[in-house]
Amino acid sequence: MSAERDAFAERMVSSVAVAMDVFSAYLGDRLGFYRELAAGPATAGELASKAGCHERYAREWLEHQAATGIVRVEEAGADASSRRYALPEGHAEVLLDRDSLSYVGPIVRLFVGAVSPLPSLLEAYRTGGGVAYADYGVDLREGQAEINRPAFMQQLPQEWIPAMPDVHERLSRPGAKVADLGCGAAWSAIGIAQAYPGARVDAFDLDAASVELARTNVEDAGVSDRVRVHVRDAGDAELAGQYDLVAAFETIHDMSRPVDALRAMRRLVAPGGGVMVVDEHVGETFTAPADELERLMYGWSILHCLPVGMAEQPSAATGTVLRPGTLRAYAREAGFADVEVLPLDAGFFNVYWLVG
């Protein structure tokens, strides 16, 4: 048993070291250190001056980053004040390039946000209550928006919607209408509007801070004439049967009442239109030990998605790990005939087409 004990002890220590990488990367992002290093190598003093920070803190951060392999030091044996540090080009793309499909730098903000309400989370575990989405703050809200942006701006309009040829053809017509439920920062709505210049998009969300961010993004993207962001429930009867595409991107698993949301989507779609759900890429069945992606999804679930879904009662208490079979059951209860998982390489996501 000592080998098992020692291996597990080593794993836990290694896990803390990896978590330290996350929090140090958070500092580098929020303080602008990575941005300055991407412009060229710098000493601790030069980086501190450019970023407006204290040199001693900058030096410790640089030494940690070099020790853990995120930045490179040009001459480790040089005097501490004269060592120069550089950010490798590939690391810069991951941390800073908002348009790259390899851009996962925002995951550090997402993680910091997910652990920010720990006292409330402990209480929820003890009582069976939940933690409101707003309690996770700006880091989670903006981190989630930014990490999804490349996929929603590129893969969504270029690969996912074209995998539904009838829907793609309808959206290519002037006057097409799209409903985006739980739109968050609206990158999905913006991506659709830019790819289909004749379409209009109604984006809906109940979180006021997300809607404010979404409206800013829509204005900055130059599509405010065709994308409207609403702080309201999309299930109103007056909107029934209006939309060529009704979609929900990475949001169904967070909802307290997912079946009600799917019923609303079914009401909103026009005859011959499409209903699309994009949610987490998880396996059909529970396995243990699981692969790294499944472990990641369970991690998000215990810290954020399940507590958010439990914040309103009654709750389906889905959590992040929304398996295809669970979505099929929800969809059939909502009146759909079937759910098809589209044969796409969508990274963190499964792309579903809800039929009938």
- Superfamily of domain covering 112-355: Vaccinia Virus protein VP39 (3.40.50.150)
CB distance 221 to 190 below 8 Å: yes
Phi, psi of 274 (to 5 degrees): -125, 150
Q: Alpha-carbon distance 280 to 350, whole Å?
A: 6
Write out the two tokens for 272. Answer: 């011959």
Residue boundaries of the structural domains of the chain: 2-96, 112-355
Overall fold of domain 2-96: Arc Repressor Mutant, subunit A (1.10.10)
Q: Alpha-carbon distance 25 to 94, whole Å?
A: 12
Q: What is the pLDDT along the chain (356 residues), one digit of tens a residue?
A: 699 999 999 999 999 999 999 999 999 999 999 999 999 999 999 999 999 999 999 999 999 999 999 999 998 888 989 999 999 999 999 999 999 999 999 999 999 999 999 999 999 999 999 999 999 999 999 999 999 999 999 999 999 999 999 999 999 999 999 999 999 999 999 999 999 999 999 999 999 999 999 999 999 999 999 999 999 888 776 888 999 999 999 999 999 999 999 999 999 999 999 999 999 999 999 999 999 999 999 999 999 999 999 999 999 999 999 999 999 999 999 999 999 999 999 999 999 999 98
Q: Alpha-carbon distance 92 to 321, whole Å?
A: 31
Instruction: 338-347: list long-range contacts, CB under 8 Å, 24+ apart.
Output: 339/277, 342/160, 342/163, 342/164, 343/163, 344/159, 344/160, 344/163, 346/151, 346/155, 346/159, 346/160, 346/278, 346/281, 347/101, 347/151, 347/155, 347/281
Per the confidence metrics, is the pTM higher than 0.85? yes
